[in-house]
């Protein structure tokens, strides 16, 4: 896997995670929607997977054989950004929403 593909993969994960965390942050500030942020996040995970599939369809070809290092290079950023999203989401949900928006 070339360096350009790795950079595109990292940028995709960075942008997608930033969007997910940003939307969850905005929704967590509203007392009416704070209870639903976790459910919306759970909906966002498969949606992010669909966008990943549409952005990198060649990674899912049946005849494609990847080495272990290439598989790790694909999987590690996904898991890293997923863990970061969960940590940020936990932080947002633990905060008490202010009455002012």
Would residue 78 count as lying in a domain? Answer: yes
Burial 77-87 (b: 16+ CB within 10 A, else e): bbeebeebbee
pLDDT higher than threshold 70 for residue 96: no
Task: pLDDT band for 97, please (50, 70, 90 cuts).
Answer: low
Percent of the chain with pLDDT over 70: 93
pLDDT digits (tens, 9 = 90+) for 25-66: 999 888 888 888 989 899 989 999 999 999 988 888 877 787
Would residue 8 count as lying in a domain? Answer: yes
Host domain of residue 30: 3-93
**Domain count for the chain:** 1
Given this model, what pLDDT does residue 71 score? 83
Would residue 54 count as lying in a domain? Answer: yes
Would residue 100 count as lying in a domain? Answer: no
Would residue 47 count as lying in a domain? Answer: yes
């Amino acid at each position: 896997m070339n360096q350009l593909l790795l950079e595109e993969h990292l940028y995709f994960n960075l942008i997608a995670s930033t969007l997910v965390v940003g939307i969850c942050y905005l929704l967590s500030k509203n007392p009416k929607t704070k209870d639903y942020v976790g459910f919306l996040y759970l909906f966002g995970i498969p949606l992010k997977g669909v966008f990943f599939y549409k952005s990198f369809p060649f990674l899912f070809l049946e005849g494609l054989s990847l080495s272990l290092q290439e598989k790790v290079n694909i999987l590690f950023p996904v898991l890293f950004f997923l863990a970061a999203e969960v940590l940020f989401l936990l932080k947002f949900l633990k905060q008490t929403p202010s009455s002012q928006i």
